[in-house]
Amino acid sequence: MSETIFSKIIRREIPADIVYEDDLSLAFNDINPQAPVHLLIIPKKPIATINDIQEDDRELVGHLYWVAAKLAAEMGFADDGYRTVMNCGENSGQTVFHIHLHLLAGQPMGWPPYSDKRKQA
């Protein structure tokens, strides 16, 4: 896997507003938030896309969701609701090829989450 900005954040070569860290993961505020709360939760192990997750990564990926629920509870929005999103590939909007879980909260969210001009059925 090629070097990404997330690898540099993990190594503290690039600053980030880190809100959580453990041996497996790191969570920080997104620099381009799409909601009042927009965190990125990343594994410290580099995995480019969902398609690259291996069988032995199952617990690691589950851990990212556990961190999301933990942060939602600690930050006080678990009961109001929140959204988690993990994009896969360019057509999904993935721009950093190191899997990351978006945790969005703090406002009502519509469905589907289209941001373009396509008709929504």
Condensed to tens digits (0 to 9), the pLDDT of residues 72-111 reads 999 999 999 999 999 999 999 899 999 999 999 999 998 8
* Rg of the chain (C-alpha set): 15
Condensed to tens digits (0 to 9), the pLDDT of residues 28-48 reads 999 999 999 999 999 999 999
Q: Tell me which CATH code domain 5-105 carries.
A: 3.30.428.10
pLDDT for res 21: 98
pTM above 0.85, yes or no: yes
- Phi, then psi, of 105 in degrees rounded to 5: -160, 175
**Options 38, 98, 100, 102, the catalytic residue:** 100
Q: Is 100 a catalytic residue?
A: yes
